[in-house]
Homo-oligomer: A and B are copies of this chain.
Amino acid sequence: MKPQLNETHDASLRSWVASANTGNTDFPLQNLPYGVFRRAGSDEQFRLGVAIGDQILDLAAARVAGIFSALENKEFDKAILGDKLNSLMSLAPAVWSQLRLALSRALRLGASAQAALQSCLLAQSEAEYALPAQIGDYTDFYTSIHHATAIGKLLRPDNPLLPNYKWVPIGYHGRSSSIAVSGQEFRRPLGQTMPPGASAPVFGPAKRMDYEMEIGIFIGNGNALGDAIPMQEAEQHVFGLCLLNDWSARDMQGWEYQPLGPFLAKNFASTISPWVVTIEALAPYRSAWSRDAADPQPLPYLESSDLRDSGAFDIALEVLLQTAAMRSSGTPPQRLSLSNFRHSYWTVSQLLTHHTVNGCNLRAGDLLGSGTQSGPQPEEAGSLMELTQGGKKTITLANGEQRLYLEDGDSIVMRGWASKDGAARIGFGEVLGTLLPARSE
């Protein structure tokens, strides 16, 4: 049961918010992603909003304007009036769909609600954002076989792709406390590393700072402890997707990760985009599941009738770097790579189903990371470790600067979008994060 195409996806729809109709905005009327925002610099409570063109529609204000009257009840009102998306996420998918339809109709060119809603808009340029949800648990997967193989070659040259990879959607638990919304600035972490050939580890700032380009998956209504979510129901439990930068300290990771997995190499910061694009908005951009014919068939619990045709999502994923020198000279960020979520070896449904097959409970607002989304070509790699072949192949930027790993003051911007003939182009906005110098020891 996946969201179906309906009138909200009609590519010909135009909004009375003119900036939504430019063709190159991330937020046309067909998108309608959710976030939480307030006027920048204010101490107002954060409020729920929907991005439309270069504006944000304030949902609490829109409720007063009466556009959700058919939906209003105690639970819905609580969801709309909160300062996080969790309550909205925990409502039934049918309610999400009705809300989307109401928003689509109210924001259309010629809508009678225009007069009442005009005052419910805030320009995105005047807004600041918070984490869209209180994230209870954060799980990070490892769904790009191209990334897993490339990283595996660097960490275990004799054994790059482990025997479980093609059977198990490999994942591990991450840290929720250090996840922040786009704009996060964080210090280069200090920690232990083991220099090549040394007999004892050293302590100091990480030297091999990296980003990871991922899709974040926000859980909607969850499951009770002990229950599982089968494949055919999995997407009913997904509220939407965002962009996720899972910052990594590769030198710390290499020393600490055995046998229990990455820990301090990852948990100092993770950054997500402010807007959550709903699964329903992504319905036009389904894609075939990416598998080689020689790959094993998944075990039955990871199978579904529509897996091969439309299990994946076609979402372009771009990584850009802006160094401190570029920022001060007004040079825009430069692209480092372009990949696509459709290359993922495991689908969103498979991640939810696998995560819960043992009875583990997911809760509204929990975040799953897709793992770094590297494509099959080397230039589609979603991390510097891959692009520089483990810090061996220098990247020379247009302004002459060079990089193997991130340097202090570097900002990474990630963008994502979906487009297709006959459908609107919709985007995820961006996620921006900046590496600051290490704390003095």
Contact = CB atoms under 8 A, between A and B. Distances in A.
Most buried by B among A192, A225, A263: A263
A164 B264 CA distance: 14
A154 to B, nearest CB: 12
A264 B186 contact: no
Interface of A: 136-137, 139-140, 142, 152, 155-156, 162-164, 167-168, 170-178, 180, 186-187, 189-192, 194, 200-201, 203, 206, 225-228, 249, 252, 255-264, 267-269, 296, 299-301, 354-355, 357-363, 366, 439
Name the prevailing secondary structure of the A interface residues. loop
Nearest to A141: B260
A360 B264 contact: yes
B366 A155 contact: no
A173 B263 CA distance: 7
Contacts of A186: 225-226, 359
Given A164-B194, A358-B249, A226 B177 contact: no
A191 B357 contact: yes
B203 A300 contact: yes
14 contacts: A164-B201, A170-B259, A173-B173, A175-B360, A178-B361, A189-B357, A189-B359, A190-B357, A191-B358, A203-B300, A206-B358, A227-B439, A264-B357, A269-B359
Counted per complex, copies of this chain come to 2
Contacts of A252: 358
Contact of A152 (B170, B190, B259, B362): B259
Q: Which 4 A-B pairs have the closest CB atoms?
A: A261-B261, A189-B358, A173-B173, A172-B260
Contacts of A358: 189-191, 206, 249, 252, 264, 267-268
A226 B174 CA distance: 17
A140 B172 CA distance: 13
A331 to B, nearest CB: 28
B264 A261 contact: no
Contacts of A174: 173
